[in-house]
Amino acid sequence: MADTICRTLRDGGLEGEHAPALTIKDSKASPFGFDVFNYVLTQLSNHILAGKSQSRGLVVVAYSRSPSFYVDLLKRRGIDIASSHDWIHILDCYTDPLGWKNRLIDKDISQEASSLSSFCQDVRNLDKLYSLIIEQGKGLIGQGKDRFSIAIDLVSEMVRHASISSVAGILSNLRSHDQVSSIFWLLHSDLHEIKFTSVLEYLSSMVASVEPFNQAAFGQRVDLENLSMLEQNFRKGKFHVRFKRRNGRVRVMCEEILVELAGIKFTPVLSEDEIINQRLLPKVQFNLQLSEEERNERAKVVLPFEHQGNGKPIQIYDGRRSLGENKEEALVSTGKLQPDEDSGKGQIIYFRDSDDEMPDSDEDPDDDLDI
Amino acid sequence: MENQNLNLLDRALGLDGPSEPWPLSGRVVLIEDCVETSGSFVLHQLVKRSLSPTSSNVIIFVAFANPFSHYDRILRKLGCNLVTQRDNKRFIFFDMLMLRCPDVDEGKSSEGGLVLLYEKILKTICGLPGDKKDYVTIMIDDISLVEVAANGGSDYVLDFLHYCHALTSEFDCSLITLNHEDIYSSMERPTLILQMEYLADILIKAEPLSTGLATDVHGQVWLSDYLSSQRT
């Protein structure tokens, strides 16, 4: 399922469509969001380097870690960007986000930017930040019609320096830019009002939530009774992902995550637990599903204009008169439906070309509609 | 019993082994306590371990809570002479007790005061001899009083902590802070303490025993290490 997310980001968006956007959210109860972010970053980087992705470059907007952290991270994953980095650029919003170092009189203390990264020293100015991101992205892909991807390591830090509406605005603008292939960001949900989290989820085509493995243990005092459950929460978690399809349908999936020294691992939910793989149906007052009996009854319904070949005349009830009163007339009228080449009158010949398809099959036939 | 408890803490932090490389290099430690159980003893223990004769550590101690004499008296009982360490330039004490940002133009003054403090810390680190620059520990006692000094401007405090966090990355120094969890317990969304917990690699909580008060055991200490897949 995590690989599904990475494939979606890899494939990017269609012409004229907004770029796929992923929100990764976690909380102190299960603080593995950054591990997930690093996993997605590594996977996307591998796809870009292999030439398998729509995007040809990656701009990392680093709020919570230094550029050197990402260099080391990718190096540990087998990607040496120090020697070859024409496909990646790190916008450093971590080292001097408010220009404090820049104000220092002693310029020897100030750091020089490298070719791999550049400083953003005023994170409060989101218009300028937007321009920097687009400029760096275009610098990676050149003048052609190629696209680039964007990774923002902490939107929670971004919103500390700007309003919710301006943060939502820049994310929406980035997502709708025609040269942005995909975008993903991390959010600590317990730092914000529900309103802000909801805004980001609304902007996203995928929402990945990291939740505690043992929900009951969170928030309790540490004692010998719940120690093992709390320890589990520090290594394991649950990973819920909500996908929004192009046609508006929503799909929810769940995995388990295990955080180790080497990185994060995603595993299917254990067999003794219920596998959560459901489609999200709107909550309405009528039933959208069919029971077994209803399916059988539906199969017995005679479709209009279909011949069952049993020799009996077909009776079609038009809803205005009872069948018993006008039986003879109906029989006469339906008799004329029999094919009669000599009469020269119109007729309807219906051939059923296939059996019914279940409306919620995995391959949605409406996916290729250009709506 | 007390020595055994302290040794457990040392072992949990990796301080019972060789002093170099310093196990807490490049890491952020947050100590949380409450009125019933003070966590200051953890800070004092870390000062003592940092200044052990076998290590090369230099401590920049930013004191908002107590004067130098207070820490000197306590550390003497633990076998550490802070006056000597101060003279040897291994214990650099910033007395911030009198830092109070003026009310006029609150925002800029609060931020300006913390910018100056950051600049002072940065220049101190850069002014150290080459061999000592890689063994710096910044300690702040305590963050709630930094917030008071900033006239309640928790955003400025978070900005200041962010810049201190950046120092751990730039110079591989340690950052150890103390804050009181119960100050924020009544808030619907305690943003400052949560943000600090997100910044921290190691969280040490001092809290009372679930069974209540006792004469010989004052509380329990719980340590969480959010390693290490994020570190080289």
Q: What is the ipTM of this complex?
A: 0.87
The DSSP call for residue A368 is: G
Q: Is the pLDDT of residue A208 over 70?
A: yes
Q: What pLDDT does residue B2 have?
A: 41
The residue of chain B nearest to residue A260, with distances taken between CA atoms, is B229
Between chains, do B229 and A35 touch, taking CB under 8 Å as contact? yes
User: What is the pLDDT confidence band of residue B34, given thresholds at 50, 70 and 90?
Assistant: confident
- CB neighbour class for B5 (10 Å; exposed up to 12, middle 13-18, buried from 19): middle
Q: What pLDDT does residue B99 have?
A: 65
More confident residue, A314 or A174: A174
Read off the pTM: 0.79
Between chains, do A261 and B197 touch, taking CB under 8 Å as contact? no
Chain B 151-180, residues with CB within 8 Å of chain A CB atoms: 155, 158-159, 162-163, 166, 169-170
Between chains, do A38 and B230 touch, taking CB under 8 Å as contact? yes
* Digit-coded pLDDT (tens) for B155-198: 999 999 999 999 999 999 999 999 998 888 777 778 889 999 99
B223 touches chain A (CB under 8 A): no
Mean pLDDT on A194-211:
93
Give every CB contact of residue B183 below 8 A, 6+ residues apart in sequence: B144, B193
Q: Is the pLDDT of residue A47 over 90?
A: yes
Q: Is the pLDDT of residue A8 over 80?
A: yes
Q: What pLDDT does residue B232 have?
A: 31
* 3-state DSSP helix/strand/coil % of chain A, to nearest 5: 30, 20, 50
Helix ranges restricted to H, A126-183: 126-141, 155-158, 164-176
More confident residue, A360 or A57: A57
Task: Provide the percentage of residues in chain A whose pLDDT is more than 70.
Answer: 68
Nearest-angstrom CA–CA distance, B81 and B51:
9
CA angle (B5, B9, B15) in 5-degree steps: 130
Mean pLDDT on B17-23:
69
Task: Compute the nearest-CA separation of B224 from chain A (Å).
Answer: 9
Q: Is the pLDDT of residue A36 over 90?
A: yes
Of A141, A156, A153, A158, the closest CA to residue A183 belongs to: A153
Instruction: Out of A209-223, A266-280, B12-26, B209-223, pick the least confident.
Output: A266-280
Q: What pLDDT does residue A354 have?
A: 53
In this complex, which of A97, A100, A259 lies closest to B229 when CB atoms are compared? A259
Output b/e per residue, A109-139; b: 16+ Cβ within 10 A.
Answer: eeeeeeebbbbbbbbeebeebbebbbebbee
Cβ-Cβ contacts under 8 Å between A and B: the total is: 71
Mean pLDDT on B65-82:
93
Helix ranges restricted to H, A281-369: 292-300, 327-335
Nearest-angstrom CA–CA distance, B49 and B75:
11
Contact list in B for residue A67 (CB cut-off 8 A) is: none
The answer to whether A61 and A151 have CB atoms below 8 angstroms apart is yes
* Digit-coded pLDDT (tens) for A193-202: 999 999 999 9
Nearest-angstrom CA–CA distance, A302 and A25:
51
On average, the pLDDT of chain B sits at 83
3-state DSSP call for residue A336?
coil
- What residues of A are in the B interface, CB distance below 8 Å? 28, 31, 34-35, 38, 65-66, 68-69, 72, 76, 94-98, 100-101, 103-104, 106, 108-109, 111, 157, 160, 188, 190-193, 221-223, 234, 259-264
The answer to whether B200 and B158 have CB atoms below 8 angstroms apart is no
Of A348, A123, A66, A12, the closest CA to residue B159 belongs to: A123
Between chains, do B126 and A160 touch, taking CB under 8 Å as contact? no
Q: What pLDDT does residue B181 have?
A: 85
